[in-house]
Structure 1
Amino acid sequence: MKLKTLSTITLGLILFTSCSDDSTSDQFMDQNPDAVARLITNITVVSAQDTDENQNITVTYDDANRVTNVSDGIDTGLLTYQDGDLANVASNGDNFAIEELYESPYDAFETGEVINYNNDGNPVNLRFFETEYDWETNSEITTEYRAEIQYDNKLNPYFYTVQAAGGIAVMDAVELNFSANPDAPEIVQARILFPSKNIKKIIYRDLDGNLLADVNLDFVYNSDDYPTSGSVTATEYDVDEGDTTSIYTLTYTYMAAN
């Protein structure tokens, strides 16, 4: 499991659909009016099946509490600012991606289209596409699938960390002026999937409704409704080769409250 932090999620998601009327920050505050700002400083991941999958993700901040560095010990993302705004994100590895955070076996968050939102404005049904090589026809075949997302009635714990990285301001600015930066469609489209609540389950099916995989997340929350620990159970279902289940434990650490 290559778990990555969401501090640069705004640069890593590609979705194709229309935006809602509310900005990212407005939607979050509407759904979490009593939210307390907490900044993530560390996420540890321990794999139950392979210690090589263990991760230790650190987020560092400057004196103004802006994210300057995100690292998992191998890949590092460096954030720079100009006139108080996010100017650049540089990484010596892959872009941070939401699939890796949730141990997702599919690219639903990268190639998906939102079909439905719930009453809170969070996406609950996606269509997405996977391209695989067919050895019988010696050609690539693209297949359409579905993903269902369920949420805890708890705030998205990454919101204020993404905000401290300048990502929320970027999404809000693009939301207000859709053509403000036509050269960065991934930023425009990242706003579409950024939820106000914390994901607790993702279910993947084919178009016939057959269950392909699911990811279950179970969190322990503190008094501010932020997760302090949790477990991820990801199962892929295969009639021919049998089911495969992977289990991970997560621990979250936050900057001390002022």
Structure 2
Amino acid sequence: MKRINYLLVILSLTIINFSCDKFTSEEFDEVNGNVDTKLMSSISVLSAQSSDENAKIIFSYNTDNKLTTIFDGSNTTIFSYEEGSLSNVTGQSGNGNIEELYQSPYNAFEDGQVEEYDNNGNPSVLKFLEYDYNRTTRDYEVVYYTAEISYDNKPNPFYKTAEAAGLISVMDKIRLNFAAALQPEEIVKAKVLFPNNNLSQITYKNEDGEVEHSINLAYTYDGDYPTSATVTSISAVGGNTYSYNTTFSYVGN
């Protein structure tokens, strides 16, 4: 099932070595309680720097409120169903990743692995490789960076949309127990990183623990769901700050 990580926005990590027996849906309900259903219809990102950085992602549904397509302005991801269950995901889309939306210089969510989870079961520390230039040896060397992730005490706003695509049901069938039979790697990756809460900050640190870059999202909420966010992406090297305004729309709004 290609491009599943696109819908879940930040769900492409290498598999980590741990065991978990909880359903994705069970853990989400334990953390958030009863959450009203709102299906995402679009995400619009406006850059304060350049219109070339603007982005819009459109989610479409059928009459049964099942997700059918995601369109990012260039590419379309198509969700197919058989007897009411997700059977296939086809197409290619690339700018749903939060690091791509807000011009992060790193790919922690694509290339890293989960090191820690917080008390709500959200991935809170990712570890990933970087290549730093060593002026003494005049060569690049491999170093480990970390991405520390914080969340608002609000539900993951993409959960109900993922549920409408049948992805929660698919992840519920996965058990992260490596004594178990071989399971689809892409689905396991999605389950490993699926957050229960709404991501609000990413802080990237080098191997010495020094901050290299950060992304901060300050949301405006209507109940459990964000309607907008002011985003700042700050580079410690050079002190550059990039600003974005993001709007979230839902079916029926």
Match of 1:75?
A: 75
Alignment partners' CA distance in 2, 1:32 and 1:48: 34
Give the conservation status (yes or no) of the 8 Å contact 2:108–2:127.
yes
Per-residue deviation at 1:34? Answer: 2.4
Per-residue deviation at 1:42? Answer: 1.2
Give the conservation status (yes or no) of the 8 Å contact 2:19–2:177.
no
How do 1:32-71 residues align onto structure 2 when only pairs under 5 Å count? 32-71=32-71
Residues 1:111 and 2:111 are matched in the alignment: yes
Residues 1:255 and 2:248 are matched in the alignment: no
Alignment partners' CA distance in 2, 1:177 and 1:85: 25
Alignment partners' CA distance in 1, 2:53 and 2:239: 20
After superposition, the Cα gap between the structure-2 partners of 1:235 and 1:158, relative to the gap in structure 1 and judged at 3 Å, is: same
Match of 1:30?
A: 30
Per-residue deviation at 1:191? Answer: 0.8
Match of 1:215?
A: 215
- Match of 1:191, SS state, is helix
Further displaced range: 84-93 or 42-51:
84-93
Residue by residue over 1:115-134, the C-alpha shift from the partner in whole angstroms, topping out at 9 and shown as x without a partner, is 22111111111211135788
Residues 1:84 and 2:80 are matched in the alignment: no
Alignment partners' CA distance in 2, 1:247 and 1:175: 39
Alignment partners' CA distance in 1, 2:29 and 2:233: 31
Alignment partners' CA distance in 1, 2:208 and 2:133: 21
After superposition, the Cα gap between the structure-2 partners of 1:51 and 1:96, relative to the gap in structure 1 and judged at 3 Å, is: closer
After superposition, the Cα gap between the structure-2 partners of 1:254 and 1:197, relative to the gap in structure 1 and judged at 3 Å, is: same
Which amino acid letter does the alignment assign opposite residue 87 of structure 1? Answer: S
Give the conservation status (yes or no) of the 8 Å contact 1:7–1:162.
no
Match of 1:144?
A: 144
Residue by residue over 1:111-169, the C-alpha shift from the partner in whole angstroms, topping out at 9 and shown as x without a partner, is 22222211111111121113578899797643211111111011110100111112111
After superposition, the Cα gap between the structure-2 partners of 1:43 and 1:115, relative to the gap in structure 1 and judged at 3 Å, is: same
- Match of 2:13, SS state, is coil
Alignment partners' CA distance in 1, 2:11 and 2:145: 21
Give the conservation status (yes or no) of the 8 Å contact 1:9–1:98.
no
Give the conservation status (yes or no) of the 8 Å contact 2:4–2:89.
no
After superposition, the Cα gap between the structure-2 partners of 1:165 and 1:37, relative to the gap in structure 1 and judged at 3 Å, is: same
Per-residue deviation at 1:8? Answer: 2.5
After superposition, the Cα gap between the structure-2 partners of 1:127 and 1:119, relative to the gap in structure 1 and judged at 3 Å, is: same
Residue by residue over 1:161-183, the C-alpha shift from the partner in whole angstroms, topping out at 9 and shown as x without a partner, is 1111121111111238875663x
After superposition, the Cα gap between the structure-2 partners of 1:10 and 1:235, relative to the gap in structure 1 and judged at 3 Å, is: closer
- Match of 1:174, SS state, is coil
Aligned length: 249
TM-score by length of 1: 0.86
Alignment partners' CA distance in 2, 1:210 and 1:11: 24
Alignment partners' CA distance in 1, 2:131 and 2:12: 18
Further displaced range: 193-202 or 133-142:
133-142
After superposition, the Cα gap between the structure-2 partners of 1:93 and 1:251, relative to the gap in structure 1 and judged at 3 Å, is: closer
Give the conservation status (yes or no) of the 8 Å contact 1:15–1:190.
no
After superposition, the Cα gap between the structure-2 partners of 1:177 and 1:211, relative to the gap in structure 1 and judged at 3 Å, is: closer
Residue by residue over 1:236-258, the C-alpha shift from the partner in whole angstroms, topping out at 9 and shown as x without a partner, is 221xxx1222111011111128x
Alignment partners' CA distance in 2, 1:104 and 1:36: 32
Task: Give percent identity, aligned residues only.
Answer: 40
TM-score by length of 2: 0.87
Gaps of 5+ in 1: none
Give the conservation status (yes or no) of the 8 Å contact 2:112–2:129.
yes
Alignment partners' CA distance in 1, 2:9 and 2:218: 25
Over the aligned positions, Cα root-mean-square deviation in angstroms equals: 2.8
Residue by residue over 1:195-252, the C-alpha shift from the partner in whole angstroms, topping out at 9 and shown as x without a partner, is 11001111000111111000000000002x10001111111221xxx12221110111
